[in-house]
Chains A and B, each alone.
Chain A
Amino acid sequence: ETGVTQTPRHLVMGMTNKKSLKCEQHLGHNAMYWYKQSAKKPLELMFVYNFKEQTENNSVPSRFSPECPNSSHLFLHLHTLQPEDSALYLCASSQDRVPPLHFGNGTRLTVT
């Protein structure tokens, strides 16, 4: 596999569920990102990891919990979400925290 892979592609969850989104990059990069894409709004940068260390947390609610066990893998753990959290969640990677970023195809999340 090449590039940035995200699983699952689609996820439907209730407000009381716990689920996780997974991202894996095969580009040898050392920085990884989570973005949220909602209709008619700018992409929102959520979290940034550099060499497995979190360097950015842009005021994201604690119901979103990121995890970066190594430079190739990134998770987003979800619990007690709200319907307004329904969106496309995009993972990206880069080398040395320098753009450009390379994106995965995203996970379409629906919270019911």
Chain B
Amino acid sequence: GEDVEQSLFLSVREGDSSVINCTYTDSSSTYLYWYKQEPGAGLQLLTYIFSNMDMKQDQRLTVLLNKKDKHLSLRIADTQTGDSAIYFCAEIKEANNLFFGTGTRLTVIP
């Protein structure tokens, strides 16, 4: 496909793990990014992974990259109500521009 693809919605219970999935399009993207958008705000860089890595861990966040399938995932351990937001994955293509998916709205149920 031409667009970065993400599911639109995900609901999890507080304390559980969340896994947000993304399929990107350009295998030559040097970095892949996860951004977080809280209500009424812009996009905030959450984490990123270099394309020659399979995994990156940063506190409660784990990013997994499957280059063969062009699949990226973001795992949030011990999900809290403050994690409720829209999460966007993004790839680099076409003259160093960032292209984003639709975003996945994560709802954390207390």
Chain A interface residues (CB < 8 Å from chain B): 4, 6, 35, 40-43, 45, 48, 55-56, 90, 92, 97-106
What are some 19 contacts across the A-B interface (CB < 8 A)? A4-B42, A40-B8, A42-B3, A42-B99, A43-B88, A43-B99, A45-B99, A56-B95, A90-B42, A99-B31, A99-B33, A99-B90, A101-B43, A101-B45, A101-B98, A104-B42, A105-B41, A105-B42, A106-B42
The answer to whether A100 and B45 touch (CB under 8 A), given A42-B4, A43-B88, is: yes
Contact across chains for B100 and A42 when beta carbons are under 8 A apart: yes
Q: Which residues of B contact A100 (CB under 8 A)?
A: 33, 45, 48, 98
Kindly provide the distance from the CB of A52 to the nearest chain B CB, expressed in whole angstroms: 17
B40 within 8 A of A: yes
**Given contacts A45-B97, A100-B45, A100-B48, could you give 11 more A-B pairs where the C-beta distance is less than 8 Å?**
A35-B100, A43-B88, A43-B99, A43-B100, A48-B97, A99-B96, A101-B98, A103-B35, A103-B42, A105-B42, A106-B41
Instruction: Quote the shortest CB–CB distance from A37 to chain B (angstroms).
Output: 8
- Which residue of the partner chain, among B35, B97, B102, contacts A56 with CB atoms under 8 Å? B97
The total number of A-B Cβ pairs within 8 Å is 54
A-side contacts of B100, CB under 8 Å: 35, 42-43
Q: Which residue of B lies closest to A41 (CB)?
A: B102
Is B44's CB within 8 Å of the partner chain A? yes
In angstroms, Cα B101 to Cα A4, docked, is 22
A45 and chain B: residue at smallest CB distance: B97
Interface string of B81-97 (1 = CB under 8 A from A): 00000001010100111
Per a CB cutoff under 8 Å, which of A42, A48, A99, A104 touches B101? Answer: A42
Q: How far is it, in angstroms, between the C-alpha of A99 and the C-alpha of B47 when the chains are bound?
A: 12
Chain B residue at minimal CB-CB distance from A38: B102
Question: What is the chain B residue whose CB lies nearest that of A48?
Answer: B97
CB 8 Å contact bits of B25-41 with A (1 = contact, 0 = none)? 00000010101000011
Chain A residues whose CB sits within 8 angstroms of the CB of B88 once the complex forms: 43
Q: Closest 10 CB pairs between A and B? A: A103-B42, A43-B100, A103-B43, A105-B42, A100-B45, A99-B98, A104-B42, A42-B3, A105-B41, A97-B96
